[in-house]
Amino acid sequence: MARSILITGGCGFVGSNIAIAFRTRGDRVTCFDNLSRPGSGLLCRRVQEHGCAFVRGDIRAPDDLKKCKGDFSLLIDASAEPSVLAGSDGRDALYVVHNNLTGSVNCFEWCRKRSVAVIFLSTSRVYPYDRINALRYDELPRLFRLASRSKGVSGSGIRPDFPLDGYRSLYGATKLAAEFILREYSMNYNIPAVIDRCGVIAGPWQLGRADQGVFTHWMVSHYFRRRLAYIGFGGTGKQVRDILHIDDLICLIDAQIKVIHKYRGEVFNAGGGARAALSLRQATELCRSITGNTVPIGSVRRNRPADIKWYITDNRQTEQEFAWHPRREAEQTLVDIYGWLKSNHALAQRLFRVNL
Ligand SMILES: NC(=O)c1ccc[n+]([C@@H]2O[C@H](COP(=O)([O-])OP(=O)(O)OC[C@H]3O[C@@H](n4cnc5c(N)ncnc54)[C@H](O)[C@@H]3O)[C@@H](O)[C@H]2O)c1
């Protein structure tokens, strides 16, 4: 049966890909966005070309959300200031709080008034970086490897029961606060809701930058032969992340929508998992072999605020709950980004000249 879905942040990387995938399967999809992310105007045209409706507005303004009229059954909240560095120098602190917390609460309030279910795209950044960095690691020639076991973490990755006491960045804190509010809304007002704590997501149509969308940034820099730098943890590029391909996230959300009536704000990890994990050094090797290009890579020893030495998603609970499994390994995701750049060369040239 066709679903009627509102996607806030529907002209961003994640929102626009979900919108087009669901619209293509026959759902009615409306994308709501203030077009604040550079390049989102282009994704806005793209979603409309695929038959999605578009409403321009800001989630910080409840009256803008009222412009979304219709009989919606689900809201997917994919609107955020997604950079972990946002707010780190204090100047844009209130912007991050208003955008990521007040804005999301406005979305939940919109859902409460209309009895609309919610899927909230949260982040692995809710897990405190100081606790993660304090774990013991072996330093291997190409990557850091976890050498200790403690509550909520094993070689398979970080689980949702990893302790939450610690520092996580204003980005992580606003997303965690929004999670807490959504849980209360969901339970108190009987609104079906699922929270996905996503790790690094990547894929075609991501307008990746050094501070957000790093693996796309890595591939784009190789493709256009641009200089890169390993930043933090001694500047050797051994820090590890797993990559979730956008298409695997879409499969998960699709599975969750089908049973969302059962959930009241439960939290699930969503990442590429151990099979899709790699260090920046390993990403460099893959980007070189996929593009045939070698770019100069500088080295900055000092960490940036909230940098993480190692993060792999332990998805086991999510996989069991939704009979879902991320299928694409890191190499496949990088190959797909390369294919997208190649088949949209002129557009990518324009886009990334603007963004870099
Ligand atoms: N990309 C990732 O690796 C990743 C990882 C974990 C979680 N997430 C979460 O997924 C969601 C989508 O991230 P993304 O990578 O697509 O980011 P994005 O920047 O590409 O998309 C966000 C969109 O939201 C819009 N937006 C921002 N503030 C808004 C506001 N006040 N009102 C209306 N629209 C607004 C932007 O214009 C943009 O189009 C975010 O909530 C983010 O926290 C992303």
pLDDT in tens, 13-71: 999 999 999 999 999 999 999 999 999 999 999 999 999 999 999 999 999 999 999 99
Q: How far is the CA of 348 from the centre of ligand 1 (A)?
A: 20
pLDDT band of residue 211 (cuts 50, 70, 90) is confident
Element (H, E) at 256: helix 246-258
Residue 66 within a domain: no
Residue 1 within a domain: no
Q: Output the residue whose Cα is nearest ligand 1's atom 38.
A: 12
Residue 316 within a domain: yes
Residue 26 within a domain: no
Instruction: Tell me the mean pLDDT in the region 128-133.
Output: 97
Structure tokens at 273: 């998992």
Would the CB of 208 count as within 6 Å of ligand 1? no
Element (H, E) at 201: strand 200-202
Q: What is the pLDDT of residue 89?
A: 83
Q: Output the residue whose Cα is nearest ligand 1's atom 18.
A: 12
Task: Work out which ligand 1 atom sits closest to the CA atom of 175.
Answer: 43
The rounded distance, in Å, linking the Cα atoms of 21 and 29 is 10
309, HSE (Cβ side, Cα atoms, 13 Å): 19
Residue 356 scores a pLDDT above 50 = no
Would the CB of 10 count as within 6 Å of ligand 1? no
Pairing between β-strand 117-123 and β-strand 74-77 as defined by DSSP bridges: parallel
Domains of the chain: total = 1
Q: Which residue has the higher pLDDT, 32 or 86?
A: 32
The rounded distance, in Å, linking the Cα atoms of 60 and 36 is 13
- CA 263 to chain CA centroid, Å, is 21
Q: Express as a percent the part of the chain with pLDDT over 70.
A: 99
Q: How far is the CA of 137 from the centre of ligand 1 (A)?
A: 32
Q: What is the pLDDT of residue 1?
A: 75
The rounded distance, in Å, linking the Cα atoms of 31 and 270 is 23
φ/ψ (deg, to 5) at 215: -75, -35
Q: What is the CATH number for 159?
A: 3.40.50.720
Q: What is the pLDDT of residue 246?
A: 98
Residue 299 scores a pLDDT above 80 = yes
Residue 22 within a domain: no
Q: Please give the mean pLDDT across all residues of the chain.
A: 96
Task: Work out which ligand 1 atom sits closest to the CA atom of 122.
Answer: 7
Q: How far is the CA of 12 from the centre of ligand 1 (A)?
A: 6
Question: Rounded to the nearest 10 degrees, how much is the dihedral formed by the CA atoms of 113, 99, 256, 313?
Answer: -150
Q: What is the pLDDT of residue 90?
A: 84
Q: Which residue has the higher pLDDT, 353 or 293?
A: 293
Residue 4 within a domain: no
Instruction: Tell me the mean pLDDT in the region 103-132.
Output: 98
Instruction: Tell me the mean pLDDT in the region 299-321.
Output: 96
Residue 108 within a domain: yes
For 248, the domain range is 80-355
Which range has the worst mean pLDDT, 5-9, 137-141, 147-151, 243-247?
Answer: 147-151
**pTM, to two decimals:** 0.97
Q: What is the pLDDT of residue 291?
A: 98
Residue 215 within a domain: yes
* Vertex 193 angle, CA 26 and 199, to 5°: 85
